[in-house]
Structure 1
């Protein structure tokens, strides 16, 4: 009897070795950068690190998007949502002439984030994140959840990664933003769509060397809204694998061979007809062990774009299978709805800064956004709403 293919392999003929490791048909791995000079860097994390380190690739000119993330989901934890979003109050901006407070006071040389001692500092030789031994005694970092600590809001930290903008004025503005907020990581490469994979590698290296205590890494675009409390509750589930690569999985996508496309993948770099499964780059999660596995495999994988494909190829090389969840909505643009944003989805894509503030105003207003039927339908309901609004799936 002929053996049927599993869903994970989709009969694509991609060879899989022991434990899922694969001799990928990749060429020209010399394109992998051994080092990336760093121009601006945030302060390292503390000894324990946050529960969730949020890593946001951003274009240098997207200052408004970065500020919207800081003002909303990237800087706090909302309570339960109210019933509707129609009359949601806008989150007030900090007035330019507001009195100085610890939150909006300008940085001083004493409390400002420090620059690298050397402008060409790199992370290629940085210490790796320590693995937790399987039989290690339980500590606050790796202990299972209990009623006492399950209710505590998880610690988070948000870092934005950018390249070098084309103008000196933009570079000065970016440096001032870094001085004010201390959350910008800048690599010495052009700030362009084509360097998104390089940004992803840089932020993973920074996380491994400067924030080794973070239990999970969330990579999210700067136009994505993330329900951090809901995602953190999911990540606290005891049944999740130790090497977790979580997102909305794309299955066996063919490479784009159009030379005029920004997603062009030459056959010389990747000759196979399909990519292995990978998580949508709009928002995905890597556990500490999974991030280390991706970094360890990266030197054997060329810089294939888009960046989410490259991360998927590194994961495949490391024998790391992506785990699908429809609650990380991928490229789906969901209409502003308290039920979808507050209780169903972990992430939603393509939100303008004013949309982010509107959603945040609702989620911080209290109340309940879902009835019993709406909650039961969950993702299906949000998907139907997105389709009606032309948001896609």
Structure 2
């Protein structure tokens, strides 16, 4: 015979399971995991976090069946803020006891299969070195791609790169365009745990050309800002709007982002920010739902923090303009004064870096972006 106290226990267990279910599929960020696991993630330099489960409730969103598969996948995992780390760099910025004094950290978003791009960057503008006594360090942030044997091969490639260069930070999530925001958020969590002391960051794609000497000169010339104050600058975009056409790469339906205007933001190809601003973005990323456009999401976090992105004339993430058809669009004299230009591929990248650093390069008088202040 079933006793009343047994029934009460069953009811309590059912209620507890319902709460767990609710938190798992509707909860936000850290609510998905036990406090012990979250503390382990935050406090340990050697960690592995459990894989985040798909939120099947996302399929109940209005219009879900008509969304592109890539957007469906994004919505299934939109709640996730933690993924297992495959390749880590716990000592990239020194140890907790002896942190390294890093002036500029190059944070480069790279697809797992872009080996050639990473190799060229290691030999050119992303080379780890000191410039005028200020240390420059490099990290490639990436996820996974493919399935089964293909995924295994690519992961072995990244592991080999890691062993040789110590510059790969990889998580176990699908590295897609719609997951670029997730990649940014995961890096900021890593930075807070491992690299808070860095002064400034360049955040960019693996197909940008960056003149790191100019960048260091510009940042070092900022008055009263050693990274402890707000700085976020790049190619500023105002009054941008969500693309509602479902065949566009940039499709964002109102179910994902309801307003018809984006906050001001800088083009995601490349921008500069202080460690202060990076950590502020991190703090707000825990409470702002992800959207699949990563640069807009940075703008959303800045807006929430009441911080403004700024424009820099030396950062060109939407192409560049050469005033004459008689001049090569890759003329080094036009690039030696820029801070960052998007989009470059390996052959042009390697050639341009060597040309602008050639002491025999002769150019006419141009305005130097090294003196431009935002």
Preserved CA contact (<8 Å) 1:59 1:162: yes
Mapped to 1, the partners of 2:296 and 2:129 lie a distance apart of: 31
Cα 1:180–1:317 change in 2 (3 A) is same
Q: Is the 8 A contact 2:129 2:135 kept in 1?
A: no
Equivalents in 2 of 1:341, 1:76: separation in Å?
21
Contact 1:154 1:229 in 2 (8 A): no
How many residue pairs are counted as aligned between the two chains? Answer: 276
| CA positional deviation for 1:77 | 6.8
Counterpart of 1:37 in structure 2 is 84
2:118 is the counterpart of 1:66: yes
Distance 2:362 2:268 in 1: 28
Tell me if the contact between 1:252 and 1:274 (Cα under 8 Å) persists in the aligned partners.
yes
Tell me the equivalent position of 2:145.
165
Q: Could you list the runs of 4 or more consecutive aligned residues of structure 1 that deviate by over 3 angstroms after TM superposition?
A: 238-241, 367-370
Name the counterpart of 1:225. 209
Question: Counterparts of 1:76 and 1:293 in 2: how far apart (Å)?
Answer: 26
Q: Distance in 2 between matches of 1:349 and 1:299?
A: 30
Can you list the C-alpha shifts for 1:209-265, whole angstroms capped at 9, x where unaligned? Answer: 111210011101100010111111111224376211111100110101122222111
Map Cα deviations across residues 78-125 of structure 1 (whole Å, 9 max, x no partner): 9xxxxxxxxxxxxxxxxxxxxxxxxxxxxxxxxxxxxxxxxxxxxxxx
- Indicate how the Cα distance of structure 1 residues 52 and 369 shifts in structure 2: closer, same or farther if over 3 A, else same: farther
Query: Is the 8 Å Cα contact of residues 248 and 324 (structure 1) preserved in structure 2?
Result: yes
| Unaligned runs of at least 5 residues, structure 1 | 1-27, 79-150, 380-393
Instruction: Tell me if the contact between 2:281 and 2:302 (Cα under 8 Å) persists in the aligned partners.
Output: yes
Pair member with larger Rg: 2
Q: Displacement of 1:369 after TM fit?
A: 4.5
The 5 Å alignment of 1:1-393 reads: 31-42=78-89, 43-46=91-94, 47-75=99-127, 152-166=132-146, 167=150, 168-239=152-223, 242-333=229-320, 335-342=329-336, 344-372=337-365, 374-375=366-367
Question: Aligned partners of 2:266, 2:233: CA distance in 1, in Å?
Answer: 7
Shift of 1:355: 0.7
Alignment CA distance shift 1:323-1:182 (3 Å) = same
Q: Which runs of 5+ in 2 are unaligned?
A: 1-74, 322-328
User: For residues 282 and 39 of structure 1, what CA distance do their matches in structure 2 show?
Assistant: 25
TM-score (norm 1): 0.66
The CA deviation at 1:160 is 0.3
Q: TM-score, normalised by structure 2?
A: 0.69
Alignment partners' CA distance in 2, 1:178 and 1:287: 26
Deviation for aligned residue 1:337: 2.1
Distance 2:269 2:184 in 1: 12
In structure 2, distance between residues paired with 1:363 and 1:153: 21
Q: Name the structure, 1 or 2, with higher relative contact order (CA <8 Å, separation 6+).
A: 1
Distance 1:360 1:283 in 2: 17
